[in-house]
Structure 1
Amino acid sequence: MGPAGWDSLGALEQWVERHRPPVHPVVTDKNPGASGRTRPLCEAPAYPRYTGVGDPDSARSFACTEP
């Protein structure tokens, strides 16, 4: 995945000021050739792993998996 787009500052602001932590954050690949590919943003050490079902360019087709 190339350059990633996720509004981390906006998410932190929502969490601190409105007590709304990020739930199931999704990052978008900003590489021009990626055509908007998305992945779930997983808490380390987990990583996004394709479930084998659905669009491989959609975060919905991935699950955060422990190594």
Structure 2
Amino acid sequence: MNQPELPNSIEDVKNMLKGIEAFLPEEYKNVINEAIAGIENGDGNPEESKQKLQQLLLNLMSGQK
């Protein structure tokens, strides 16, 4: 079974989200937007935010919650 391709940049993430955000629960949108803001603004730990965002997207792509 192939692993889904993870986005490598914030722009990739944003583009990916455009296609799926209508289907996301509100709490996912909040987590994603906070992680993107943290990465873009350099708040807190951008690398940790990126990892959380990648894991969330992986879970979404694989149908997990």
1 or 2 for the larger relative contact order (CA 8 Å, sep ≥6)?
2
Query: Is TM more than 0.5 here?
Result: no
Look at both structures and tell me which one has the larger radius of gyration over its CA atoms: 1
Q: Specify which structure has the higher proportion of strand.
A: 1
| Structure with a larger share of its residues in helix | 2
Structure-1-length-normalised TM-score:
0.28
